[in-house]
């Protein structure tokens, strides 16, 4: 292991030490609570589009908590955060642009 690697490993270890167990338990509790809200909403007979919007919103918050705290991306250098997140979000936006209007077109035209 060269000096750069040792320094990086030490820095990672130091970052780990900075946040205690309590933070992880809070994040876990928040994730469970949001899951409970999702299940509760399922039984409220909401309009599908409204329900989908709320569920996906909650899922995005849960994903951000998992990526940020459990996967420690919050503690990585900003270059790492931006490159990883921007690339995957850009791909997903492209898929959304291409797929969903087409799916709606099929149902609006009545093609079965």
Partner 1 sequence: MADSAVHDIPSVYEPSLFGTYSKKIGMWLFLLSDSLTFGALLYAYSYGRISTANWPTPFHSASIVNATIMTAFLLTSSLTMVMAVRASVHGDAKWQRLWLLATMVCGTGFIVLHGREWSNLISEGLSLPMFPKVPGQEAVSEFADVSKTVPQFAATFFGLTGMHMLHVTLGVIYLGVVALRRKFIPILLVLWLVAWLGTPAYSPFHYGAHVLLIAAIVCGIILWLKPKVYDSSDVEVAGLYWHFVDLVWMFIFPLVYLMSAKIL
* Cβ neighbours for 67, distance < 8 A, ≥ 6 positions apart: 73, 85
Give CA–CA dist 67/84, Å, rounded.
Answer: 11
Q: Is position 79 an interface residue for partner 1 (rule: CB under 8 A)?
A: yes
Q: Is position 18 an interface residue for partner 1 (rule: CB under 8 A)?
A: no
Give CA–CA dist 60/101, Å, rounded.
Answer: 22
Q: How far is the CB of 31 from partner 1 (least distance, A)?
A: 5
Would you state the structure tokens that stand for residue 40, as one six-digit string?
A: 């509760």
Would you state the structure tokens that stand for residue 39, as one six-digit string?
A: 């299940």
- Residues in the site for partner 1, rule: CB under 8 A? 2-5, 8-9, 11-13, 16-17, 21, 24-25, 28, 31-32, 35, 38-39, 41-43, 45, 48, 51-52, 55-56, 58-59, 62-63, 66-67, 69-72, 76-77, 79-80, 83-84, 87-88, 91-92, 95-96, 99-100, 102-104, 106-107, 112
């Amino acid at each position: 292991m060269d000096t750069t690697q040792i320094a990086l490993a030490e820095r990672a270890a130091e970052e780990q030490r900075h946040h205690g167990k309590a933070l992880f338990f809070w994040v876990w509790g928040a994730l469970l609570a949001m899951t409970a809200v999702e299940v509760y909403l399922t039984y409220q007979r909401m309009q599908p589009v409204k329900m989908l919007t709320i569920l996906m919103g909650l899922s995005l918050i849960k994903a951000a908590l998992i990526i940020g705290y459990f996967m420690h991306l919050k503690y990585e250098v900003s270059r790492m955060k931006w490159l990883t997140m921007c690339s995957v979000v850009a791909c997903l936006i492209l898929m959304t642009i291409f797929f969903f209007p087409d799916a709606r077109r099929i149902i609006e035209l009545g093609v079965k």
